[in-house]
């Protein structure tokens, strides 16, 4: 039986992952001032970061259209979809509306849309979990149950150097962002188990915040030896590798994967940002 994994472009994956899992990414659209960018393999992340830095306005993102999903759903039979948290983006709704239209036309087609309740590295891990179950020849309904449970248990955290874009977009309270900038405080943010963002801790200075994020893994994680840690970075590979090394000194994850952020994740994380999930 043929299967497909489809995700929006906030699912940060390496080229090796794409080859291994066969995931197809549906791009979001990005806008800075009057310039529009498609979040696909043609996007130059360093040039995009430069454009964001030089702009006085907040960058905008737009979710894929219903048609974007329809085009892909029509071509495939058994489809698993991973989207950004429905509390952060309209991508999930676009995919669900496309699913409803397709199932009117092709009643025997299987499509399941997973709300990742996360972003970036969180989506990465969800798509890897789907692939793992497909390799083990689980039935569609079994995969849905297991991956849904996995999403409920997954933890996502992020540490950013610059909170401006997250604040301007309405995804972070601007009072928190302003206070953090004034006091050189680096907030550690995370998911609230409901698909939105919460403040986990606030630490003065980046290096202390970096180490605090390592501590939080042990405080909030369970059975880490059974889990994969995903690390997504925004143009800061050495920082991501340092974080991986620090984690390996203290925890025994089943595996650790490091991926570079694409356009959507970059828009909100900005230069130097880290997003982790497990």
234 neighbors 272 (Cβ within 8 angstroms): yes
**What's the whole-model pTM score?**
0.94
Which pLDDT band, with edges at 50, 70 and 90, does 166 fall under?
A: low
Render 204-232 in DSSP notation, one character per residue.
Answer: ESHHHHHHHHHHHHHHH---GGG-EEEEE
* Residue 169 banded pLDDT, cuts 50, 70, 90: low
Q: What residue ranges do the domains of the chain occupy? A: 3-153, 156-277
Average of pLDDT values for 155-177?
76
Class of domain 156-277: alpha beta
Residues 6+ apart with CB under 8 A from 51: 32, 35
Separation of alpha carbons 7 and 115, rounded Å:
10
Predicted local confidence at residue 254, as pLDDT: 97
- From the list 167, 165, 171, the residue with the least C-alpha distance to 56 is 165
Give 262's contacts (C-beta < 8 A, 6+ positions apart).
Answer: 9, 10, 12, 25, 39, 43, 45
Q: If pLDDT is split at 50, 70 and 90, which confidence band does 57 have?
A: confident
Beta bridge partners, 169, equal none
Residue 205: pLDDT above 80? yes
Contact call for residues 265 and 12 (beta carbons, < 8 A): yes
pLDDT (tens digit per residue) in 98-150: 999 999 999 999 999 999 999 999 999 999 999 999 999 999 999 999 999 99
pLDDT tops 80 at residue 258: yes
Range 3-153 classified under CATH 3.40.50.10170: yes
Which residues lie closer than 8 Å to 150 by C-beta, 6 or more apart?
Answer: 126, 129
Contact 275, 213 (CB under 8 A): no
- Reported as a pLDDT band with limits 50, 70 and 90, residue 184 is confident
Closest among 72, 79, 69, 73 to 3, alpha carbons compared: 79
Write down the mean pLDDT value for the chain.
94
Over range 243-253, report the average pLDDT.
Answer: 98
Find, among 157, 86, 97, 155, the residue nearest to 126 by Cα: 155
């Amino acid at each position: 039986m043929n299967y497909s994994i489809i995700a929006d472009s906030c699912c940060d994956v390496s080229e090796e992952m794409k080859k291994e899992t066969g995931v197809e990414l549906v791009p979001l659209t990005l806008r800075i001032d009057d310039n529009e960018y498609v979040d696909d393999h043609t996007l130059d992340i360093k040039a995009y970061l430069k454009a964001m830095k030089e702009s006085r306005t907040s960058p905008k993102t737009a979710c894929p259209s219903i048609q974007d999903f329809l085009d892909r759903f029509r071509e495939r039979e058994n489809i698993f979809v991973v989207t950004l948290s429905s509390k952060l983006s309209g991508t999930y709704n676009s995919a669900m509306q496309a699913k409803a239209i397709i199932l009117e036309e092709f009643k025997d087609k299987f499509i399941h849309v997973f709300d990742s309740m996360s972003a970036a590295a969180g989506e990465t891990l969800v798509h890897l979990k789907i692939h793992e179950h497909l390799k083990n020849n689980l039935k569609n309904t079994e995969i849905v149950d297991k991956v849904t449970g996995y999403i409920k248990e997954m933890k996502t955290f992020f540490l950013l150097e610059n909170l401006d874009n997250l604040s301007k977009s309405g995804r972070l309270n601007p009072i928190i962002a302003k206070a953090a900038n004034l006091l050189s405080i680096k907030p550690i943010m995370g998911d609230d188990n409901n698909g939105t963002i919460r403040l986990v801790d606030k630490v003065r200075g980046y290096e202390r915040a970096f180490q605090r994020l390592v501590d939080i893994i042990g405080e909030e994680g369970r059975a880490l030896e059974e889990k994969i840690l995903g690390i997504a970075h925004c143009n800061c590979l050495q920082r991501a590798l340092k974080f991986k090394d620090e984690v390996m000194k203290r925890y025994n994850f089943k595996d650790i994967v490091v991926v570079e952020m694409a356009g959507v994740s970059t828009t909100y994380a900005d230069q130097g940002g880290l997003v982790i999930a497990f």
